[in-house]
Amino acid sequence: MTWFMGIDIGSAYSKGVITRDVELNASHITKSGADYRKAAEAIRTELIRKSNLTIDDVASTVATGSGADNVYFAGRKASDIVCTARGINNIFPQARTVIDMASQSTRVIRLNEEGIVTNFTASEKCAAGSGRFIEVIANVLRTDLPDFSRLAAGSRSPVTFSTGCAVFGESEAITRISEGVSKEDIAAGVNRALAGNIASLVRKLKLEEPCAVCGGGALNTALVKNLEAELSTGLLIPPQPQMITALGAAIIAATSVASQSRGKHNC
């Protein structure tokens, strides 16, 4: 039995998991803040404490995410696309498409039964295609992200946003508030607009079912429902959807150690 660590440093949040071989043992999430090295250290300390281990018990650590370079104690780095695919494959081996809805970008990944990436695309250029759109409007509505989904679920007639731009969408939300439109209808409108943008990204790559979602956006159940309607398919939602990429990183740590030791025996 061996312990492995996966650390995913994102632009908004940093996530980490410890696995026992490829089984999830403990996880931790914290804001990335301005110092990514500090965030990485804090996650390691917390994971070790939660698992009742010492640093030396961890056989290998893999870092991923846009801030992976800051995880100075990691043995190696892996691409976040590969990690997300491996993570989702561990929980839903049947999934052939995964939609990772993060703050900075939305990524759509196609994968085979072994969790190997066959194709992917990302919405990196425009905030209106990522969770950032919701953060911008949540700020206008003065609501937290956890409340956002609940607000949207209470909507009776979602507003239609006339723009595909998060900046113009922000002005539009302010105008709608001044016209007396309810917070619920605005929140639901943003969810719907974002779901539409994500669905067109998915269609670019062609959807192969079953399809799973992960990333912080998967916690927004109203958004996931909109996306299911847009794509006319049910979506698999893993427990702790924000941890999938970190989980994939730990699994990569575990499997590469396993293949190395196999290599030694063969010699």
* Contacting residues toward other proteins, per CB under 8 A: 11, 34, 104, 125-128, 132, 136, 163-168, 175, 178
Instruction: Tokens for 4, please give them.
Output: 């492995």
∠ Cα 190 171 145 (to 5°): 40
Which is nearer to other proteins, 112 or 175 (by Cβ)?
Answer: 175
Shortest Cβ distance from residue 193 to other proteins (Å)? Answer: 13
Residues ≥6 apart with Cβ < 8 Å to 215: 99, 100, 101, 102, 106, 131, 241, 242, 244, 245
Shortest Cβ distance from residue 200 to other proteins (Å)? Answer: 14
Which is nearer to other proteins, 36 or 148 (by Cβ)?
Answer: 36
Which is nearer to other proteins, 112 or 171 (by Cβ)?
Answer: 171
Shortest Cβ distance from residue 136 to other proteins (Å)? Answer: 7
Shortest Cβ distance from residue 216 to other proteins (Å)? Answer: 16
Q: Distance (Å, rounded) from C-alpha 138 to C-alpha 134?
A: 6
Which is nearer to other proteins, 158 or 169 (by Cβ)?
Answer: 169
Which is nearer to other proteins, 107 or 132 (by Cβ)?
Answer: 132
Shortest Cβ distance from residue 125 to other proteins (Å)? Answer: 5
Which is nearer to other proteins, 178 or 259 (by Cβ)?
Answer: 178
How does DSSP classify residue 156?
Answer: S
Instruction: Tokens for 111, please give them.
Output: 């994968």
| C-alpha 36: how far from chain center | 18
- Name the percent of the chain in helix, strand, coil, to the closest 5: 50, 20, 30
Shortest Cβ distance from residue 100 to other proteins (Å)? Answer: 17
Pairing of strands 3-9, 58-64: parallel
Q: How many residues does the chain have?
A: 267
Which is nearer to other proteins, 111 or 138 (by Cβ)?
Answer: 138
First to last CA, the chain: 23
Shortest Cβ distance from residue 155 to other proteins (Å)? Answer: 23
Q: Distance (Å, rounded) from C-alpha 8 to C-alpha 80?
A: 8
Q: Is 115 helix (H, G, I), strand (E, B) or coil?
A: coil
Tell me the residue ranges of DSSP E strands in the chain.
3-9, 13-20, 23-31, 58-64, 76-77, 97-101, 106-111, 117-122, 211-214, 235-236
